[in-house]
Amino acid sequence: MDVVMLSRLQFAAATMFHFLFVPLTLGLSFLVAYMETKYVTTGEEMYLSMTKFWGKLFLINFAIGIVTGITLEFQFGTNWSRYSAFMGDIFGSLLAIEATVAFFLESTLIGVWVFGWKKLSKKAHAIVMWLIALAGTTSAIWILTANGWMQHPVGYTIRNDRAEVVDFAAVLLNKFAILEFFHTVAGAYVLSGFFVMGISAYHLLKKQHIEFFTKSFKIGLVFGLAASIFVAVEGDMHGIHVTEVQPAKLAAMEAHWETTNRAPIHLFAIPDEKNEKNLIEIGSIPGLLSFLGYHDINATVKGLKDFPADERPPVLITFIAFRTMVALGTYFILITLTGVYLRNRLIENPLYLKVMLYSIPLPYLAIQCGWVLAEVGRQPWIVYGIMKTSDAVSPIATSQVAFSLIGFLVVYGLLGAVAFYLIAKNAQKGPVLNHQE
């Protein structure tokens, strides 16, 4: 393998690992803030136990999220130095702003929250968690503005052999980035809702801490349902915009080879990239792709064959990732709606609880698929239409990248195992209730 491929694998490994932990912190921070606020306003000890129980799980995730985040920033310089030199004028400033306006606040306050129970008033302590949640969200805005710019660069000019900013407002108001932000954050909320529901279901199945986990489940349910519906509706808008600005990605998502009007969607297909066709197509719905892309069943959708072969993204991965994401998204809506129906007799429905327990990993999978679609679907470009990934890599020795990639796989593999073990252990142990037992 060459430096480009190894660096891509390393970036993928580091990013995907980072994003196993960050989405939960984005959503759970708000839920913990809500629980702590309930404690402050009602004075009920149960809400304090909730804050501490879910807060502990939040902190394990936060610890991994924060330490793996540094790697992502630094990798642009270590592995993608040509990209950094070319794009730093715009891309670098977005990362620097993120650290200055958001990450500082989040990281400083997390220490205050963890160690400050006795040092702050109850009210101030709850406010700290709200600020952590808001800072995390602000952080996501800047990071996704940066990624959105790689997807759909705006407000720049090529000057002095690099991309220089000419219209910073355009960079900030990039429609692609805004859609991506809402999609990513809503996806994170789905994950957080399912996490809370799944762990609550575990305890309800065992008939322990029933009041505690029924309340927790309902909080997760409201959050998860709202986010599941939002992410689907918003995803549709995002899809239309992708059709407009990244037509090659759309064609790859659907394994759509020939330019046609009334373009179909295949529920299942096996793309054959060598021969530029699909080996099997099952369940084709005519006009659906035209409808999704343009909200018009007769619209013409450009096929992959009409893109130069070296400007097409890998079809199979993109196709599978998109399908998995959409199927899971549909499932999330249906299963949370079922939850609304069963909400007052959860304990009498062990089957539903079991389904929810085993659904915990599914939003993780959906989110990873979403990122694979966004990033692999953008290939061969690192910045769409301006710079190819193969031109962006650092002029460094293959052996260096091979060693660091192995290092990442080993360290992250061990860390991931320990982290999920600790999350499971703490989740199973259940809350410490002061007011009863």
Partner 1 sequence: MDLQTIWFLLWGLLWAIFFMTDGFDFGVGILYPFLGKSNEDRRIMINAIGPLWDGNEVWLITAGGVTFAAFPLLYAVMFSSLYSALMLILFALILRGVSFEFRGHIDNHIWRKIWDFCIFTGSVTPAILFGVAFANIYQGIPIDANGVYQGNLFTLLNPYGILGGLVYLTFFMIHGAIWLAIRTEGDLQERASIAADKLWPVVLVMATVFLIYSKFATSLYNNYFAYPILFAVILITVTALVGIKLFLVKRNFFRAWFASALTIVGATFFGVIGLYPNMFPSSINADFNITVHNAASSPLTLKIMLVVVIIFVPVVIGYQIWAYNLFKGKVTAEDLTY
Cα 414 from Cα 418, distance rounded (Å): 6
The residue within the footprint of partner 1, chosen from 20, 28, 110, 292 (CB under 8 A), is 110
Listed in sequence order, the residues at least 6 apart from 408 whose beta carbon sits closer than 8 Å to its beta carbon are 10, 13, 14, 71
Q: Report the alpha-carbon distance of residue 37 to residue 48 in Å, rounded.
A: 9
Residue 103 CB, shortest distance to partner 1, in Å, is 5
- C-beta of 66 vs 245, nearer to partner 1: 66
Rounded Cα distance between 207 and 324, Å, is 34
CA angle 146, 152, 157 (to 5 degrees): 85
Q: Which parts of 115-154 interact with partner 1 (CB under 8 A)? A: 115-116, 118-120
The footprint of partner 1 on residues 239-298 (CB under 8 A) is none
What residues numbered 386-405 form the site for partner 1, per CB under 8 A? 394-397, 400, 403-404
Question: Which parts of 55-74 interact with partner 1 (CB under 8 A)?
Answer: 59-60, 63-64, 66-71, 73-74
In the bound complex, what is the minimum distance in angstroms from residue 222's beta carbon to partner 1? Answer: 29
What are the residues facing 266 on neighbouring strands?
284
Please report whether residue 228 would count as binding partner 1 according to CB under 8 A: no
CA-to-CA dists, residue 374 to 14, 243, 406, angstroms: 16, 13, 25
Nearer to partner 1, 75 or 192 (CB): 75
Smallest gap, in angstroms, from Cβ of residue 385 to partner 1? Answer: 20
- Closer residue to partner 1 (CB): 109 or 201: 109
Give the shortest CB-42-to-partner 1 separation in angstroms: 26
- With respect to partner 1, which residue has the nearer C-beta, 91 or 149? 91
Sign, CA torsion 171/172/178/184: positive
Cβ proximity to partner 1, 228 vs 394, nearer residue: 394
Range in contact with partner 1 (rule: CB under 8 A) among 43-51, 114-122, 247-255, 335-343: 114-122
Q: Quick one: which of 42, 100, 208, 330 contacts partner 1 (CB under 8 A)?
A: 100
Q: Does 158 bind partner 1 (CB under 8 A)?
A: no
**Tokens found for residue 223:** 């959050």
Q: Can residue 413 be called a binding residue for partner 1 (CB under 8 A)?
A: no
Contacting residue, 43, 44, 114, 334, with partner 1 by CB under 8 A: 114
